[in-house]
Every structure is written in C-alpha cells, then in structure tokens.
Structure 1
Amino acid sequence: MKLDRNGLRTMTCALVGALAFSVGSVSAKETVTVGYQLNYQPWKAAIADHEFEKATGYDIDWHQFDSGSQVISAVASGSVDVAMAGSSPIASAISHGVDLKLFYIVEGIGESEALVVRKSAGIEDPEDLKGKTLGVPFVSTSHYDMMFALQNWGIEEGDLRLLNMQPSQAAAAWARGDIDGAFVWNPALQRMLRNGGKVMITSGDLCELGKCTFNGYTVRPEFADGHPDFMTAFVGVLDKYTMMYREHPDKWTEDSDLVKKVVSITGGQASDVPTVLGQYVFPSLDEQASERWLGGGADSGAAFSLKDTAKFLEGLGKVERVPEHPEDYVTDKWVKAAMEQ
C-alpha cells in the first residue's frame, strides 16, 4: 500500500495516540490503602517483597498505625480500605456502628501480649499492683485483657494508675522509669523484658479463663464488593506466608532472609522474631472457614468473641450498646474464594 504524505502523517498520529493510551492504561493502577501495625507476622515479609502488589495488580499504600483503636478510627473515616486490628477495637467499632467486615483472622494472640512488670517494683502478686502506674493502649486487645485480669483478681481500676500509652510510648516510659508495668505486645514487650521486666500474666493465660483475643483484617463492605479480585488475591498472599511459617517454622531463624524482611517492616530485633512467632496461633484457610473462626454465621467463634467483648466493654462503660447480630460484621466469603484459587 502506497501512502502519500498526508496519509503517513495520519497513520503516525494514530499510532502515537494508541501508544499513549496503552501506556496510560498500564500506569493508571488503582491505589488501595491498607492499614497495618508493627506486630511480627510472617506476611510482613510479603510486604517487603511487594508480593501483595504482584498478586493483586494494585498499587498499595501501606499505612502504619500504633494500635487498633487508631486503625478503626481510620476505617470509620474512610481513609483506609483494608485494615488489621485486634478483636477488642473491632468489637468497639461495631458497637459504635462502624460499617466493616472481619474477613481474615491474622492470628489468635496467645502468649504474644502480656502484662510485664518491673522486677524492682516489688510486684509479686496482683495485690501488689495497687498504687502502681501501668501503661496500656486503650480500646486494644491488651486493654481488654488488662481489665479482665483486674476483674479476675478483684482489683478496681481506681486502685492503680492506668495510663493510655501506645506500645512504643510505654517502652519509652519504661526506659525512663516512669511506669511500673504495661500490658503490651511485641516488639515493645521484648524491650521491656530485656530491660528489667518479668511477665505477670499473658493473653494466653486469660484465654484459658474464657476471654480469648485475636487480630484480624477488616474491610469496608463497599470496597470489598467492588474489588472481589483484589480481596481474593490479598487473602491468598496472607495465607501463603502464614502456611510458609506453619509448615517450616525452623526456616524463620533470626539470620534468615524471611525474618530480616519482617524486621525491615516492623523494626525491632531479628533475634526476637522466632520466639514471638511461636507464641501466636496462625489458622489455615480451612480453619478460618470453620465455625471456630469465621464460618457458621451466628455460631462462628469470631461473632461470639466480638459480642462477648462488646458486652465486657459495655460493662466498663466503654461502649453504650452491644450489637444484636455481630455475625453481620463477619464474613468467610473471601477465605472461601481464596480456597478455590
């Protein structure tokens, strides 16, 4: 085919326009904002490897929070799409009418959160806590456990001084000698233990007394419904790294690349990570879909835990109402979708 000058110019413009459209389409990825905290978890290595972005095809703006209460505030304001929080702040959120869905159980908290007290403070039994100053992040799983522990010991909140502190703030206050103890999680917990602390009671101990806590991923329902492929792929990556740890915990040593990647995201010391990971309970997708966690509607373990936690918070005057149907805020849809991939 022979082209004159005008024809050649027309074809060139068309090709340039098509190329510009193609490049624009590739570069204009949608950005999803995901909130996370600085706990040690296997999937933090996936953040370092950009595995979530690769699997979902989305750009992800990872937003760090110091506590679950901060996360839930961001979810309520719509500033994050997907976010990890503890069972206590999630229960508080749904009690206040925040529209969210719990769709993935990151872990049962087990021994990874604890009340650590200063060895030199003369605290040998619960009665010795009276008159002492303790730090705890309010409306967190640690706060829930702290209040349940005091209730179980027959100690009134007014018998001691309880300060609202994020874990990093509590660790700093501990180093200055401003507090006698704190109920926190890692890496702050390990810092305090190395600096003259001892464990008085753990979340695992309190779970055995009937009050179990967990960390989970939540999502705005409107976002989830509009991005099903993202949700399925996101859960797939979470499960991939969870199972990498469950099947080969011996590979997660302090000098391993995996642990170094976790610490590159969370901070802290690599030597603490293997011990801390061993304190969590990481459920598989099958376990998550069962009634033990997300499955079963009103009979799901997560729904029961959220309602029980909300009742406890109501008794403390932290929330004004308990959701009648907590199962409305729990879904196994995305776990099941990931199982089919």
Structure 2
Amino acid sequence: MIKSVLRTLAVLSIAALTLGACSSAEDTNAPASGVTLTFGDQVKGLQVLAEASDAFAGADYGIEWAQFQGAAPLFEAVKGGSVDTGYAADLPTLQAISAGVPIKSVAAFKSDGNGNVIIAREGSGVNSVADLKGKTVTVSSAKGSIAEYLLVRALEEAGLSYSDVTVQYLLPTDAQAAFVSGNIDVWATFGIFGNIGLSRGGTLLVDGTDGRTTGIGILSATDAALADPAKKTALTDAIARLDKAVQWGQEHPDLWAQAIAKANNTPVETAEVLVQQGNKSTTALTPDVVADIQVVADTMNGVGSLQPNVDVAATSDPSVYPVR
C-alpha cells in the first residue's frame, strides 16, 4: 500500500507539471446572464472541491477555471488580464500586490498550515533548522512564496537570521526534479510537492503549524472585475458557494478525497493526505484577519523580500464577502 501511494505521488507531480505548463480553462456552467468569472487556481485544488460539492449548481453566471502550478504564473495571468479572480496563499498575494498587479483581497480561507514544509535530502547532513546556517535553501516557487515565509519564521525560531542562508528560487516541478536527483539538499515548498519530496527520501525539518505560517489563503479579484457591477455581484455569490463547498469538504472528507483521486487518477490513500492539508473554513477580511496578514507583510519587508511593503487594509475589499 505504501509503495502504491509513493508511486502515485510521482504521478501527481507529472500532472502538476502538465497543468502548470500553460493555463487551461474549463466551463463549469454556461453563462446565463452573459457574465463569466475566470478563476485562477493551482493544480485544481479549488476546482475539484467546487465540482465535487456541486457548488455552482444553478448559478446564473458562468465559471471558468484556469490552472497553474504555482502562484507566480497565476498572477502573471492576472496581470495580463486573462483571470478575474485568483486563489493563493497570503504572501504570494502580497508579493503580487507589491509588484503592482491590480488586485484587491476579497476573502480568506483557513487551513492548519501543515502543507507548508522545509525538507532536507537524506545524507545532506542537515538534520534540523539550526543546521541551515551557511547552507543554500531552494524555495518554491518564486520570491514571495509562502514557503519563503516559513523559512524566515523557522530561522527566527532557531536563532538564525535570513542572511545566514542563501536562497534560490525554482518552480515546484523543477525543484522536485533537482531534489530527487540530489542536486539540491534543502527545499522549502508546499502541498503535494512537499509530500513527494518526503516520499523520495526527504526528511521533514519543520512545517507551517504552531504559528509559523498563518494558514491563510487569499481569494483576490482584479480591479477591473470589482469595477464591473455584474461581476462583483457574481463574485459575492461565488464566495458564498465556495464557503459551502469548504463546509461540505469538512463534512464529507471521504467524498472529497474520492474526487481528488478521480481527478488525478490516484488512489484515495494519497488524496486523503491532500484533504488533511486542505482548507477548513472561509472568513471575511475582518480586522483580526487583516492584522495577521499585515504581520506577514511586515516580516517579509523587514528581511527585504517584500519591497515595497503592502498596506493590507488599503488593498482589501471586505464588502465583497457575502453578508451572513
């Protein structure tokens, strides 16, 4: 059984590469009112949950899904105008805003943060975060990744500074190939890619639990979509439906896992790992949530990785989140 799961993780990696090579769009509903929202997603994470829960049944607008292997290419598509709304972790969203991508944060998703990991290759001589001093750490997928924030926090916990390590950036599939082949020793990554690394001889140094990461994922929307009354109304309804989808996933983890398994042609045992790492709830961008995200921005600005800094409250639109 274990060997089967490990083999399947490798298959999922190939699927991620295929999805990430270029964005793809899939119609969930035919647009009934002439309005269509294009959702930027990462490796079908949100799409599978929405479709398994039938979240958009009866919607009077269309939904298209555009798939990417990481946040960096997703926000390139947003910047290019081909995506209306995108889902990513807090720091990649902040990085996009800092870089001038015309978006506002409109909703938050909460997970345990255990899908974010720093792993070391067996035989590397790195057995703890304290051993990272003077080492090179590969971060996926680009500057401003949630994996980079985990690295900063983990170094602080170990009494080290960000300048104690050398950071290089690689997209997840490229980093995975380098890690498996022994060309990199330490990898900060997330989701299925971390699971693959661990299954291929990696050792877990630390994950994103215990406050090392916020566990917050952000749904953002383009300024153009927010300026379109019909799209803004559709987006509010879509968030309400995604909230119900997340609740459905918590109530039916077995069905959610089966949906992931079917979508990726993988055994349920593998999919259950992704379910355990998935979102547990949605929330509005309340002052407390905004304050938590601002800590992330300030921390990364302090190490020179988020320039210029981001005013989270000023770049959020809490009015989009549906009133309960």
The bucket for the TM-score relative to the shorter chain is: 0.7 to 0.9
The amino acid that maps onto 2:281 is: P
Secondary structure (helix, strand or coil) at the match of 2:280 reads coil
Q: Do the aligned partners of 2:39 and 2:84 also contact (CA within 8 Å) in 1? A: yes
Q: What per-residue deviation string (whole Å, max 9, x for no partner) do you get for residues 266-318 of structure 1?
A: 6765323323322445225xxx24xxxx12xxxx1332133222222222222
Q: 1:219 corresponds to which residue?
A: 221
Distance (whole Å) between structure 1 residues aligned to residue 177 and residue 266 of structure 2:
14
The C-alpha deviation readout for 1:24-63, integer Å capped at 9, x for no partner, is: x98894443210012745x5232468753x4433333311
Contact kept, 8 Å, 1:105 with 1:217, in 2: the verdict is yes
Secondary structure of 1:187 counterpart: helix
Q: Which structure carries more helix by proportion? A: 1
Q: Report 1:249-288 matches (<5 A).
A: 249=253, 252=254, 256=255, 258-265=256-263, 270-280=268-278, 282-284=280-282, 288=283
Q: Are the structure 2 counterparts of residues 217 and 88 from structure 1 closer, same or farther at C-alpha, using a change threshold of 3 Å? A: same
CA distance in 2, matches of 1:309, 1:92: 11
> In the alignment, residue 128 of structure 2 is paired with which amino acid?
D
Q: Write out per-residue CA displacement over residues 206-257 of structure 1, whole angstroms, 9 at most, x where no aligned residue.
A: x1x5x524212111143134224421331132122211122343xx2xxx5x
Alpha-carbon separation, structure 1, partners of 2:258 and 2:87 = 22
Contact 2:32 2:60 in 1 (8 A): no
More strand by share: 2
Q: Quick one: structure 1 residues 26 and 276, their matched pair in 2 at CA, closer, same or farther if it must change by over 3 Å?
A: closer
Verify the 8 A CA contact 2:122 2:203 in the aligned structure 1.
yes
2:129 touches 2:154 (CA, 8 Å); kept in 1?
no
Matches of 1:331 and 1:203, distance apart in 2: 27
2:67 — aligned with what? 64
Kindly indicate whether residue 308 of structure 2 is the aligned counterpart of residue 321 of structure 1. Answer: yes
Letter of the 1:143 counterpart: E
Cα separation, partners in 2 of 1:170 and 1:80, compared to 1, 3 Å: same
Cα distance in structure 2, aligned partners of 1:266 and 1:77: 28
Rounded to whole Å, the distance in 1 between the matches of 2:44 and 2:190 is 7
How many angstroms apart in 1 are the aligned matches of 2:138 and 2:317?
A: 34
Contact residue 99 and residue 221 of structure 1 kept, 8 A: yes
Work out the number of aligned pairs and report it. Answer: 291
Find the residue that maps to 2:306 and give its secondary structure. Answer: coil
Instruction: Return closer, same or farther for 1:268/1:244 CA change in 2, 3 Å cut-off.
Output: same
Bigger Rg over Cα: 1
1:102 maps to a residue whose letter is S
Distance of 2:317 and 2:264 partners within structure 1 = 28
Contact 2:86-2:221 at 8 Å conserved across structures: yes
1:235 aligns with 2:259: no
**What TM-score, normalized to structure 2?**
0.77
Task: Please give the alpha-carbon distance, in whole angstroms, between the structure 2 residues aligned to 1:131 and 1:213.
Answer: 28
Change (3 A) 1:55 1:134: farther
Matched, 1:37 2:23: no
Partners of 2:322 and 2:133 in 1: CA distance: 48
- Corresponding residue for 1:7? none
2-structure distance, mates of 1:112, 1:30: 34
Matched, 1:177 2:182: yes
Shift of 1:131: 4.7
Q: Which residue of 2 aligns with 1:12?
A: none
Equivalent residues of 2:85, 2:220 under 8 A apart: yes
Report the equivalent of 1:168: 173
Q: How big is each residue's C-alpha offset from its partner over 1:129-155, in whole Å with a ceiling of 9 and x where there is no partner?
A: 245443212211111111222233243
Query: 1:19 maps to which residue?
Result: none
